[in-house]
Amino acid sequence: MPEVIAILPAVKLLGIGLLCILAAKALKTSNIVAFIAAGLVIGPFGFSLVEQSQTTALLAQLGVVFLLFEIGLGFSSKTLKESGRDLVVLGPLQMATCGAGFALIAKAFGLDWPLAILVGLGAGISATAVVSATMADRGIVTCPLGKSSTALLVFQDIAGIFLLVFAVSLETGEGSLALALGEAGLKAVLAAGAALLIGRYAARPALTLLARTNSPEIFTATALFLVLATAAATGALELSLTLGAFLAGVIVAETPYKTVVKTEAKPFGALLLGFFFITVGMALDWRVLVAEAPLILAALAALMIGKTVLTFIAALLSGWSRPGATQLSFLTAQGSEFGLVLLALPAVSGALGAQAAAVLVGATAASLALTPAWTALGMKLARKLAQAKVKVSEPTASPDGGRPILVFAMTASSRLALDGLRKFHIPYVAIDSDADRFMDAVSDGYDVTFGDPSDVRLMKAVGVTNARALALGEARYEISKDVTPFVQENYPDMARFVVVTDDADRDRHEALNMHAVINRAMPEGLDFAIALLRFAEIEEHKIAGWMREVMDAYEPERLPGMPTAA
């Protein structure tokens, strides 16, 4: 029956996708790697279990469409405002250094300049899903390193949209390189600007009206309609479907309904993007991969080592310390989903040739699988670089010269508290006497002073006489008991907060007139941070908004599923 023949490829892909996810989980590797490997097995160069047809092509295209929609959801005027310096300085520097470096390598291998630039900039983009999941596994999503990494990923995703438009313009083979670049840039900028205006002045009231229906299914239908309708509209205007999907995400990102729409679209995107990676594998010839294994390993080394070095340089130029730049560069050294999308375009794969395309796809997929181990290596190197700061660390004043909150011990609770204080520009001074915690904090981008808080000279240097509160990230009752008379006599107006583990510990510390906080919410430290923000008189609705951001950040997009970082 024609209906059965049409639907059979989708059924097979669903079953294979399920097996891939289970296998990737058992092997603790990336789902992307499993999908590509499955495509090799079932494709025309393997056992020919699934034929490449209009159905498989459509499913693969929709996977890319939903990927771009999710990227668009992370692009809003609020994102631009909060990530200003990283988007304006770090992002462009990283893409410029990596793009130039890899483009020169591609040119040396005989590619013409347009294709060399496309490949070079494509190599500069990191895998959003991989990096986000790795950061969440390490608990650094909201720390300075996590914030800058997220901003860098946003900039790279925007650049990726530009590259897709540029790649489509190259398919026509018309015009000069400058004209193609200019046209791609103009289309991307105008489209993003239009989407921001539509999101703010049209989509918000429309979604508000739909929300009043109180129908759980309304946002599922809305998400699907927005993605497919906008993609179809840009396709009709002879622009890419993916650009339309990105614009749909940008439109929704300007509304209060971003989270619910994202939740409804996520299952479709995860499933369809898996189909895309399976079709990438189906297009590869395993015999070429085996024959070119040495070249794949060489390309993998060039990608990860070269990108690490170039990103490190960009991070230093943008103001990062050497430990922080080291972590950032190792974390984002892999290839990306975008790279695989670009390599799958007919114009790109045709110009590269089957052999070169297979080598680059193999190296990109391998880099995704190696990310956790590579990130762990970067962490070790960053700690070694931070060791020097243990000996030379000097007390630092509060960032804006105001009355600071002194935070002792860079525990998970203190880290999240500092994230909250930084968010609302509340001055603070962080101190730790534990060398391991100190080095980890410095490597993750925190401004911390190394020293013993019992040292009176240190405390005066960091501004204890001007502090409005002390916040202890770990509870040591005996020490608190001993210093309480001194603090009450010399600093009677200074509030004291402490993290405790149980009710008994809380009661003992409260008897010392300390604000004792038990961490019950997740992630760890959220209750402690909220207590400090309320003490700093931050409005409740702003605190609630920040809480939602933190909880969303620690539920990363595991699309299409990543291994746990070492």
Cα–Cα nearest to 429, from 456, 457, 394, 454: 394
Rounded Cα distance, 343 and 367, in Å:
15
pLDDT in the model for residue 565: 38
Within a 10 A sphere around the Cβ of 392, how many other Cβ atoms? 7
pLDDT at residue number 392: 43
According to CATH, the topology of domain 2-386 is Na+/H+ antiporter like fold (1.20.1530)
Side by side, which strands form the sheet with 469-472?
448-450, 428-432, 405-408, 469-472, 495-500, 515-518
Contact 429, 407 (CB under 8 A): yes
Return the amino acid letter for 425: H
Q: What b/e readout covers 317-343, taking b as 16+ CB neighbours within 10 angstroms?
A: ebebbbbbbbbbbbbbbbbbbbbbbbb
Query: Residue 101 to residues 117, 120, 122, 364: CA-CA distances in angstroms?
Result: 10, 7, 12, 17
Q: Give the integer Cα–Cα distance in Å for 480 and 380.
A: 34
Q: How does DSSP classify residue 406?
A: E
Q: Which CATH architecture has domain 393-535?
A: 3-Layer(aba) Sandwich (3.40)
Residues of the chain with pLDDT under 50: 391-400, 556-566
The pLDDT, as a whole number, for residue 26 is 83
Structural tokens at position 410: 């860079």
Distances (CA, A) of 257 to 198, 206, 466: 14, 11, 43
Q: What is the pTM of this model?
A: 0.73
| Nearby residues of 373 by Cβ (< 8 Å), 6 or more positions away | 566
pLDDT at position 559: 38
Domains in the chain: boundaries: 2-386, 393-535
Terminal-residue alpha carbon distance, the chain: 50
Closest CA to 338 of 368, 315, 358, 359: 368
pLDDT of residue 564: 40
Q: Which residues contact 529 (CB under 8 A, 6 or more apart)?
A: 413, 416, 417, 419, 420, 421
pLDDT digits (tens, 9 = 90+) for 172-215: 555 555 666 666 667 666 766 776 677 667 777 888 888 777 77
pLDDT of residue 181: 62
Strand, helix or coil for residue 74 = coil
Query: 500 forms bridges with which residues in the sheet?
Result: 518
User: CA-to-CA distance for 414 and 307, rounded, in angstroms?
Assistant: 32
